[in-house]
Amino acid sequence: MYQLAPNIELLFTEAGDYHDRVRAAAAAGFDAVEMWGPTGVDAPATPKDLPALKAALEDTGVQLTAQLAEPRTQFMIPPWDHSEFFRKLDEGVEIARDLGCPRIVVGSGTGFGGWKRQVQLDKLIEIYRKAIAQIEGSGVGLVLEPVNVRVDHPGSLLDRTAEGVYVARGVDSPQFGVLYDIYHSAVEGEDMEAELANAGDLIHYVQLADAPGRGEPGTGALDWTQRFALLRDSGYDGPVGLEYYPTTASEASVAHVVEIARAA
């Protein structure tokens, strides 16, 4: 079965602060978690006690599988100056290394108004080549996440998995890949089998939620036996982040997901 990583922004919130959520996830049998912004300045608004979070991860042996870049990647050209992103990237990598997190999630923002789409995608390649050169040797990778524009992220530039793959191919680094989010892909009406086949080993991380609704598997219309089979057949063997809004208490919700994953 895949290593499942509950998102501690959305799950085990009943336990209290973030470090308490890590311990609750461990008590529920998980050896991995993921989160959003490492300090909470951008996403979510609540600051994180990083020393306490690190202690909880070390005490429980739980792996932090992913964190978001801060500030949230919102590339707009013009202006041409993205120095804040690059400055904060170094800070994010330092935090990731301290917490034992191997990847940082990045995005596209809303694009570069008035420019042809192909030009915008090529500009993303340029930006992320520079980012990878900056963090080379850190042991931390970047994963680019396409997100749906139909429901959750209207106006986002990168909404197609294939275009995320195009950017990753252009960056051409083992430290850079694509985050394939089953929920976002389904909302955009993509064919999961075709997208995974096109992406190949450029899929460096996976997240899930059901669609519609973005709840746990079983609350929407997706066939999860089929989805897990497609993922397995694609050759992906990394962790799977549980980035969904639970419709029941966290412990019951994640137990249901574990059952589905085992059955698949």
Element (H, E) at 164: helix 161-171
Nearest to 108 by CA among 173, 53, 164: 164
Considering 9, 34, 70, 145, which one is annotated as catalytic?
145
Measured in degrees and rounded to the nearest 5, phi and psi for residue 18 equal -60, -40
Instruction: Assess whether 70 carries a catalytic annotation.
Output: no
Task: Compute the distance between CA of residue 77 and CA of residue 259 in angstroms, rounded to an integer.
Answer: 46
Tokens of 71: 């500030």
* CB-neighbour burial class of residue 77 (10 A; exposed 0-12, middle 13-18, buried 19+): middle
d(C-alpha 219, C-alpha 68), whole Å: 26
Residue type, 143: V
Buried b (16+ CB within 10 A) or exposed e, 108-129: bbbbbeeeeeeebbebbbebbb
Residue in the structure block whose two tokens are 């909880």: 56
Contacts of 77 (CB under 8 A, 6+ apart): 112, 115, 123
* Active-site entry in 9, 70, 188, 243: 243
Q: In whole angstroms, how far apart are CA 86 and each of 50, 76, 123, 134, 143?
A: 21, 14, 15, 8, 16
Residue 243 a catalytic site member: yes
Inter-helix orientation angle 224-233/250-263, to 10°: 60
Catalytic residue numbers, as ranges: 145, 243
